[in-house]
């Protein structure tokens, strides 16, 4: 029987709120078994860019990463945010190690080809060095990945944190029973967007199609759910969506997704 591995992704809404981040990291540190944390940090990067006079360009909510923006993102994601999280986890007794995809050649990617939009230095993932990550876990370390990868030729690349989390879960699914947690601002997938308690507790392929047909899942939730099912089709055991409360041992108010 495979050992369980939890991969948890948190977004900027938690990172930018110090009390919420402290509370999340306390919950994360108490998770049983091996675990990995993946984080973004978009708004903090935008704020620092403004202070430095670097223009932040977004198209449909997605960041255009030119050379100057990449420098800011590297400072915020790989430096300030990552090291603050690592130091706070140490305070909770979790021996964390902060990483980008370049560290230990853990996540290889290529620069996204120019299409209708030129996203600049944005990476699409080619592979995950599961052996290296496994060796860190076996050494008792908890990897904390920021949203940066590399192309093997000296170029860092801004990469979607949701995708990094799912690709790590996929890459380690041969060794572990990987469970992917996406922490965001909602309790889960909601039947009624105005009712926080209208959580759809379980979604499988059939239920997913039903929710698509009735437009319950639409807009920003579409890519997130597509990412979830992609991970499940690649042998991730299950995916959970909700706010940080889903990491509480007795909490059931979140969405679990299976095939």
Residue-wise pLDDT for 85-114, tens only, equals 999 999 999 999 999 999 999 999 999 999
> CA 8, CA 27: separation in Å to the nearest integer?
11
For residue 171, the model assigns a pLDDT of: 98
How many percent of the chain have pLDDT more than 70? 99
Angle (CA) 103-105-107 rounded to 5° is 95
> CA 112, CA 123: separation in Å to the nearest integer?
5
2 alpha carbon, distance to own chain's centre:
23
How many percent of the chain have pLDDT more than 90? 81
For residue 61, the model assigns a pLDDT of: 64
**Domains of the chain, with CATH numbers?**
3-187+244-253 (3.40.1160.10)
Strand order through the sheet with 202-203? 96-99, 142-145, 34-39, 3-10, 176-183, 238-242, 255-257, 202-203
- The answer to whether 164 touches 77, Cβ cutoff 8 Å, is no
| Closest to 115 (Cα-Cα) out of 64, 166, 163 | 64
| Closest to 112 (Cα-Cα) out of 84, 142, 149 | 149
Strand partners, 148: 158
Residue-wise pLDDT for 36-65, tens only, equals 999 987 678 888 888 999 988 877 667 789
Residue 75 scores a pLDDT above 80? yes
Residue-wise pLDDT for 169-217, tens only, equals 999 999 999 999 999 989 999 999 899 999 999 999 999 999 999 999 9
């Amino acid at each position: 029987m495979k050992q369980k591995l939890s991969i948890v992704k948190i977004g900027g809404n938690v990172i930018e709120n110090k009390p919420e981040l402290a509370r999340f990291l306390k919950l994360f540190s108490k998770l049983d078994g091996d675990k990995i944390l993946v984080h973004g940090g978009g708004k903090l990067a935008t704020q620092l860019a403004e202070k430095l006079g670097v223009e932040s360009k977004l198209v449909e909510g997605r960041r255009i990463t030119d050379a100057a923006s990449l420098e800011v993102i590297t400072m915020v994601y790989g430096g300030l945010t990552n090291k603050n999280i690592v130091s706070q986890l140490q305070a909770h007794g979790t021996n964390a190690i902060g990483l980008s995809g370049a560290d230990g050649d853990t996540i290889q990617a290529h620069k996204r080809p120019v299409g209708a939009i030129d996203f600049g230095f944005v990476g699409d993932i080619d592979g995950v060095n599961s052996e290296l990550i496994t060796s860190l876990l076996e050494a008792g370390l908890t990897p904390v990945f920021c949203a940066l990868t590399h192309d093997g030729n000296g170029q860092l690349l801004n990469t979607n944190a949701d995708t990094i989390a799912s690709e790590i879960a996929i890459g380690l699914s041969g060794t572990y029973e990987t469970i992917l947690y996406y922490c965001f601002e909602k309790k889960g997938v909601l039947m009624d967007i105005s009712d926080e308690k209208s959580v759809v507790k379980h979604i499988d392929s059939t239920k997913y199609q039903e929710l698509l047909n009735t437009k319950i899942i639409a807009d920003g939730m579409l890519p997130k759910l597509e990412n979830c099912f992609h991970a499940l089709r690649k042998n991730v055991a299950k995916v959970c969506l909700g706010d940080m409360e889903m990491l509480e041992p007795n909490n059931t108010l979140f969405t679990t997704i299976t095939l």
